[in-house]
Structure 1
Amino acid sequence: MSNTMGGGDNEETPGTLTSERTVHHPLEEHANDVELTKENGRRTADYSPQVSLPIKIPIVGFETMEERAKFTIFKLRVEHETLDESWLVFRRYTDFVRLHSKIKDDVPDIEISIPPKRWLRDNFETAFLEDRMKGLQALIDSIIVQPVLVNLPTVRKFFCLDQAPVYSDTAEETKSWCGIIEDSAVMLRHRLGERDREVELLRAELALVTTQKDNLIKMVR
């Protein structure tokens, strides 16, 4: 599948969002849990222990695009439990690198890690991308449990916490959405197949029980 959003891991990433809608209840209710203080010209955090915020951000998949250059897009689903809303955000590895760097600049005493770059071998091997996705998921999970990080403007913008994205009908985005729909269809077909097998198994068990019951009745008679 092709897209025209940019080049390899070391290139700048053009934005993929074309318009936005406002989410009226951002996670600012936790803003009082933290205080940012100045120390040697940089901000440090005086924050409460990790808490459970009403959001989850699983990475639901990735897709390697190839047209003018080859790169991989990670698909994030932002789930706001309080609003019972969710939306998709598309990000590249280089976007995560910039996010990590900006967080460390803003709050240098925060300990969060990001999976390293791969300088040798193929960056598009499935096994490597799956490992990278796990590492990026760990980074996301370490961010969203800390209010001091969730309330940083950089983080809120990265995950579109205040303005959920609305994608236009460009060819690139249409291809991405088609990929998402296809993935969802495959998942639903898989679940349906599992349920069909369960139904058939239950039918077979019912038939067996019915046969055993009939045999017992005959024996009693």
Structure 2
Amino acid sequence: MREVPCEIIEDILPLYVDDVCSEESKNIVEEHLSHCEQCQMKWKRMKADLLITEKKKVDSTTDDRLIKRMAATWKQGRKKSFMKGVFISALTIAVLLLVYVGLFQWQISSVPADKAEISDVGETGDGKIMYHLNIDDGYSVNTLKYSLDDNGDFYITAKRPVVKEKAQPLSTLEKGYDFIDIPEQENIRSQKIKAIYFGTSDDRTLIWKKGMQLPDASEEAKERFGF
């Protein structure tokens, strides 16, 4: 085969490196490179440059994917942080609300029996036990709770929140008349009442007990309820 000049090989080398030349041209280049060190050096440089270019393209693609992945992770983390913040805020508000209700609204604190004075206890002809209640500790009572245990003991328990409020001058729960309609309560609860107490089973003051002789309810007490 006639020797091909280096100038022609150099023109073909880029096509050879890119593997886009014909089979005949490829054979000519390889035959020439087998004995021409100068062209071999140029071929190696071209090949090295091609590898570097391809590596840069791969790195660029990888960097793009990495950046997109980091951005997606950051957005997801930001969304999670936002949702976590909303949850913590809602939980905090709920806890504060429960604390407020528990301290200021929930009637869970019972007034001790020794803070209440029971007087003017009397009985009406139809079975009502009337009495005057005076809670003198200076704090308001929010409600009177009625309960009947299995022994037939009926309890009147004055309830207030943990955080107490000062008694108002016109309040009637701390100072005023009240009554228990025994027949009505027995009918509602389907159980006989044997005794009436102010307080709780652990801290109580007796108001009435079955068999106890009571005077007629005072006119003031009856007028209070229109009896």
Give TM-score scaled by structure 2 length: 0.28
Q: Bigger relative contact order, structure 1 or 2, given CA contacts below 8 A and separation 6+?
A: 1
Larger Rg: 2
Give TM-score scaled by structure 1 length: 0.28
